[in-house]
Amino acid sequence: MAAPNIVDVTTILGKTVTLALTTSAQALVNNPASSGKVLKINSLYVANIDGTNAADVTVNHYSQDDIGGTATKIANTITVPADATLVVISKDASIYLEEDKSIGALASASGDLEVVCSYEEIS
């Protein structure tokens, strides 16, 4: 099924997900094949909770759900200073996640970076 026509939607649900990053890619937002939904990613923040050390973050858009297929960089090894927050996606520059697509992220050091992502599930 194709993504719904976003001019003629019946439901818009606001959602927020959080994730503590590791050095392996993890799914942050997933839109399964045939979901009948499009996800509008409004914001994605990465906070460094380590009070001393900087850490790098990489955020990818995947061509398949469950972080499968080809990864395309949204943010590539960007340094987040200690006790700082990086805005990767903002409402002014939101992106759409169609069916059978996903967004995943990883860090250069496990336990240093946490992600908060706010999005709308449109159907």
CATH number at residue 102: 2.60.120.340
Report the C-alpha gap between 106 and 109 in whole angstroms.
9
- Does 1 reside within a domain? no
Q: How much is the pTM?
A: 0.94
Residue 8 pLDDT exceeds 90: no
pLDDT at 7: 87
Phi, psi of 92 (to 5 degrees): -70, -20
Indicate the average pLDDT of the chain.
96
Q: What is the pLDDT of residues 9-24, one digit of tens each?
A: 899 999 999 999 999 9
Q: Which domain holds residue 39?
A: 12-122
Least confident of 4-8, 69-73, 98-102: 4-8
- Does 6 reside within a domain? no
pLDDT at 6: 82
Query: Cα 61 to chain center, whole Å?
Result: 8
Residue 44 pLDDT exceeds 80: yes
- Longest Cα pair distance anywhere in the chain, in angstroms? 49
16, burial (CB in 10 Å: exposed 0-12, middle 13-18, buried 19+): exposed
- What separation in angstroms does the CA of 119 have from each of 31, 54, 55, 59? 12, 27, 25, 16
Tokens of 25: 């890619």
- Does 91 reside within a domain? yes
Give the total number of structural domains in the chain.
1
Residue 1 pLDDT exceeds 60: no
pLDDT at 36: 92
